[in-house]
Amino acid sequence: MMNIKQVLDAKDLACPMPIVRTKRAMDTLQSGEVLEVHVTDKGSIKDIPAWANKTGHEIVKHVEESDVLKFWIKKA
């Protein structure tokens, strides 16, 4: 079971705002906590995993539901 601490609605935001908002939200979490992110910007399908990899955070899960991409990111 995931310890989802916060849900970030970044739908209808253009690049780079989904990453900016994701970073800000992650800064408020403790190590091991999970941020659930909802985005519609198609670039995020590559940008969010690349950012997570660069910063050491883990993409626990990723799904696409209609036009919404959902990521669950575990803080390092």
Q: Which two tokens stand for residue 62?
A: 């990723």
Tally Cβ neighbours within 10 Å of residue 12.
10
Given the residues 2, 15, 20, 68, select the one marked as catalytic: 15
Strands 68-74 and 34-39: what pairing?
A: antiparallel
Structural domains in the chain plus CATH codes: 4-74 (3.30.110.40)
Question: Is 36 a catalytic site residue?
Answer: no
pTM above 0.75, yes or no: yes
Residue 35 three-state SS: strand
**Separation of alpha carbons 3 and 18, rounded Å:** 21
Residue pLDDT, tens place only, 18-32: 999 999 999 999 999
Average of per-residue pLDDT across 41-52: 96
Considering only CA atoms, which of 26, 18, 13, 27 is closest in space to residue 48?
A: 18
Question: So what's the pLDDT on residue 1?
Answer: 64
